[in-house]
A and B are shown apart, each in its own frame.
Chain A
Amino acid sequence: MSDTATLKPDDRYQQLLARLGSRSFIEGLILPALGILVFLLAWQFSANRIETSLGKFPGPTQVWEQIENLGAEHKRERAKEAAFYQRQEERNARKLARDPDAVIKIRNYTGKPTFFDQIITSLLTVAAGFFIANLIAIPLGIVCGLSAATYKAMNPIIQVFKPVSPLAWLPLVTMVVSATYTAEDPVFDKAFLNSAITVALCCLWPTLINTTVGVTGIDRDLVNVSRVMALSPMVHVRKIVIPAAIPMIFTGLRLSLATGWMVLIAAEMLAQNPGLGKFVWDEFQNGSSNSLGRIMVAVIAIGLIGFMLDKLMLTLQKRVSWDKSAVLR
């Protein structure tokens, strides 16, 4: 590695060739690329044969067009927004120039959110739901792991609520939020809260269960060391329980985030939270010849973002984990 710099250009070329021909290169790049290519071909081939009431099922080329369309729409919308604010500023400036005491109004731009705005909304919503869930699940999991009695008491509740679909929760959440969240000037949109709480209710369980298992599985000897040192419960949890359970907690967190992201799309469709779920729903209702292509873009975006969220958690886990040699995947 270190002697690459001292090599002659010819040698480096040879080395490059050797790398290209090496097994790891083929397995790391060529094979996945080949898989994607085959998938795209099969997609294009079969898409052409599916006729729907909204035209042919979109193939990769149509979807690519829609990606470009959505990008262009986003740019147009941003330009309109900038123009709106500029006009407003100029108008206010003129007003103030004429009469320094004039009451000026600053209005927010109310144009329709673009695809990219909707992605941001979805990410914020899932982050909020995930955060609420973990705020409850991790401490509760630690308590369940430490106390067998608490676990036995909690277990039936966990088992019953774990398999409940988000769609069953949503009407209840909506009604409760409507009844209890009645601030004059709400910080959060109700649809946002409904979606976030529904997400939280669904991604509570993997973290809770995995944290419990992680805490229960702490090495007996380490617990005995802690008892011999007479560590206080707080120090015991901070210095021994949490570090020991971190790998399992993160397994739970990753499962939770994946569940949460999946649940979110459904919740947004029904709660009309202006995120990716609403985008899909609106396009479906819209029913133009482009709709299916646009929904397909959303499908791919949802997949890619889900993948990136998991990678993010993995990176975070590698950062936090004390065992740097552990193989994480």
Chain B
Amino acid sequence: MGIKYLDITGVGIEFDTNGSKFRALQNVNLRMKKGEFVSLIGHSGCGKSTVLNIVAGLHRATEGGVVLEGKEVTEPGPDRAVVFQNHSLMPWLSVYENVELAVNQVFRKTKSRAERREWIEHNLQLVNMDHALDKLPGEISGGMKQRVGIARCLAMQPKVLLMDEPFGALDALTRAQLQDSLMEIQAELGNTVIMITHDVDEAVLLSDRIVMMTNGPAASIGEILDVNLARPRDRLDLAENPEFVHLRQQVLEFLYAKHSQPAKAAQETPQPERESAAVVEALSAEEDSGAKTGGPDSEAA
């Protein structure tokens, strides 16, 4: 495996919207090692989620393809578990039953009933949710729900864990707690992770590499930034770490100086612009920064 664990090659996708074709992605190439944590960052509507959905098998690429451990991805499967932004737990199943549904599906043949029970409890323990096994999702907080959503995915023992803005809907404190939990779990289990995020700090804190995407339509990978900060990482120590600050600066530079979303582009893209206010604010802050980033600046608009 080594260098070629997950291979995304020449992926592009075209959507048919009311007869007219809309090209969302073009020529996306990414290779991942086993155990690597990669973040996808970019403006809303740039096709991050589409990339993730193609890896998950929920979307089919128009050209190019995804190969995971030598096997082409053609349909969704538990080896590519997805943590969705809004937890997506079945509201009629308890915390335990939600994880059980996934575990029964994946380990029905290989684990005994007792082993499965232990495995479910173990995974809920990993995310510190073993105290609420019999609660319904409606009875626990948003952060807890997302913890259970992560446990459900971990319990499937996926080859790649895909996370679609997993902490986007949470408040800052809860988000920090979950980021710390995720780092601990990843250190322990060595999962291969692709995470979509809007949060620059989150990307730098968690990732081994940050993949920065250009704006759509026909979005692609703009730059890839290596994050070589030593692990385990501590958010307090990093806050003043010059390397962290520099990396953060580079991402901001890419997002808001090189690929800031112009107003006309916003009109063209059908997706709503959630963070336009934040963009404007950041634009004025970052306009003067002259720091240049390294790496290939491909297909820059």
Contacts and interface: CB of A to CB of B under 8 A. Distances in A.
Contact of B84 (A225, A230, A231): A225
Nearest to B153: A228
B70 interface: no
A227 B101 contact: no
Interface string A226-238: 0111110001000
Contacts of B156: 229
A219 interface: yes
Contact of A228 (B78, B91, B93): B78
B93 to A, nearest CB: 8
A323 interface: yes
A228 B58 CA distance: 8
B235 to A, nearest CB: 29
A222 interface: yes
B105 A221 contact: no
A239 B93 CA distance: 9
A221 B101 contact: no
Q: Which of A222, A229, A244, A246 has the most CB of B within 10 A?
A: A229
Most buried by A among B77, B88, B93, B156: B88
A246 B105 CA distance: 23
B92 A322 contact: yes
B76 interface: yes
B56 interface: yes
B92 A221 contact: no
A224 B88 contact: yes
B82 interface: yes
B86 interface: yes
A235 B105 contact: yes
Q: Is the interface of A mostly helix, strand, loop or mixed?
A: helix
Interface in B88-105: 88, 90-93, 101-102, 105
A143 interface: no
Given A224-B58, A224-B82, A325-B138, A229 B102 contact: yes
Given A222-B88, A228-B56, A239 B101 contact: yes
Interface residues of B, number: 24
A325 B58 CA distance: 33
Given A221-B86, A225-B84, A231 B91 contact: no
A230 B108 CA distance: 13
Interface string A152-163: 000000000000
Contacts of B105: 229-231, 235
B76 A240 contact: no
Nearest to B103: A229
Contacts of A225: 82, 84, 88, 90
B26 to A, nearest CB: 24
Nearest to B88: A221
A227 B77 CA distance: 7
Q: Determine the interface band of chain A, counting residues with CB < 8 A from chain B.
A: 10 to 19
B260 to A, nearest CB: 30
A243 interface: yes
B90 A240 contact: yes
A17 B84 CA distance: 55
Nearest to A230: B77
Nearest to A239: B101
B138 A323 contact: yes
Point out which of B76, B81, B106 has the most chain A C-beta atoms below 10 A from its C-beta. B76
Given A221-B84, A227-B58, A229-B101, A243 B90 contact: yes
A322 B57 CA distance: 31
Interface string A213-224: 000000101101
A222 B89 CA distance: 7
B145 interface: no
Given A228-B77, A230-B76, A230-B105, A322 B91 contact: yes
B92 A227 contact: no
Could you say which of A235, A322, A323 has the most chain B C-beta atoms within 10 Å of its C-beta? A322
B78 A243 contact: no
B80 interface: yes
A230 B91 CA distance: 19
Interface string A29-61: 000000000000000000000000000000000
Given A224-B82, A227-B58, A219 B101 contact: no
Contacts of A322: 91-92, 136
B138 A228 contact: no
B158 to A, nearest CB: 9
Contacts of B136: 322
Given A222-B90, A230-B78, 9 more contacts: A224-B58, A224-B82, A228-B80, A229-B101, A230-B76, A231-B101, A244-B92, A246-B92, A323-B91
Interface of A: 219, 221-222, 224-225, 227-231, 235, 239-240, 243-244, 246, 322-323, 325
21 contacts: A221-B84, A222-B90, A224-B76, A224-B82, A224-B84, A225-B90, A228-B76, A228-B77, A228-B78, A228-B82, A229-B78, A229-B102, A230-B76, A230-B77, A231-B101, A231-B105, A235-B105, A240-B90, A244-B92, A323-B92, A323-B138
Across the A-B interface, the 4 shortest Cβ-Cβ residue pairs = A322-B92, A221-B88, A243-B92, A227-B76
